[in-house]
Amino acid sequence: MHAAATAPALAPPVLLPLFLPTGAGSSARPRRAARAAVRCELAASSAAPAAAPGSVAAPRWAQRTVIIPPQRRGCHIITHKIMHAIRSDLSEFKCGLAHLFLHHTSASLTLNENYDPDVQTDTETFLSRIVPEGPSAPWRHTIEGSDDMPAHIKSSMFGCALTIPITDGRLNMGTWQGIWLCEHRDYATPRTIVITLSGI
């Protein structure tokens, strides 16, 4: 007959001294309560043995900078421009994250519809209505024109960064998702985007 299997033995309990703060005027000797101890039962680990050296893929990093030429005011799909810049690096990643960071305060990045251009038009209409411009607008920061402060507000609404998962050498976005650059100025300048890839 085979001997019955026994549960793994537990390691001996460890006593961890718990020193409590002393009150004003007390002696240097720890108070009686400071001699309390916490008993920790350290069970034998049931985790799988550590992987052999070299069996875990080392982290990988890559970074590219993309400069988007000046765009008219509105929302623009730039997925193809981003992919053109990172395609060769992206193919080296099995799993990871792509982080996009925009270097500007009067434009923004977001993920949205990549099929019907009416969504881009409607989004610009929404932004223009919710953030007023012109002489009646309450903004004080108008150094560069009536669209100056509204552009900053819109930039904060959508943000200047995106994080997208990488799976098997591709950006793991939904079928109808595209990367948008939203230009909030009437007279735009080139926009710089730093793309950082990390993973394995």
Average pLDDT value over all residues in the chain = 82
Q: What is 60-134+141-199's CATH number, 3.30.230.10, 2.60.120.460, 3.40.50.620, 2.40.50.220? A: 2.60.120.460
**106 pLDDT above the threshold of 70:** yes
What does each C-alpha distance from 140 to 6, 80, 105, 106, 187 come to in angstroms?
Answer: 77, 38, 17, 16, 20
What phi and psi values does residue 103 have, to the nearest 5 degrees?
-90, 30
What phi and psi values does residue 84 have, to the nearest 5 degrees?
-60, -35
135-159 confidence digits (pLDDT tens): 999 999 999 999 999 999 999 999 9
Show the CA angle centred on residue 146, arms to residues 145 and 152, nearest 5°.
Answer: 90
Kind of pairing between the strands at 191-199 and 170-171: unpaired
Domain ranges of the chain: 9-46, 60-134+141-199
Instruction: Report, as an integer, the average pLDDT of 170-175.
Output: 98
What is the residue type of 181?
L
Residues 200 and 60 sit within 8 Å (Cβ to Cβ): yes
Task: Round to whole Å and give the CA distance between 63 and 159.
Answer: 20
32-66 confidence digits (pLDDT tens): 433 333 333 333 333 334 555 666 789 999 999 99
Residue 200 pLDDT level (bands cut at 50, 70, 90) = very high
Residues 188 and 70 sit within 8 Å (Cβ to Cβ): yes
Instruction: Report, as an integer, the average pLDDT of 91-115.
Output: 98
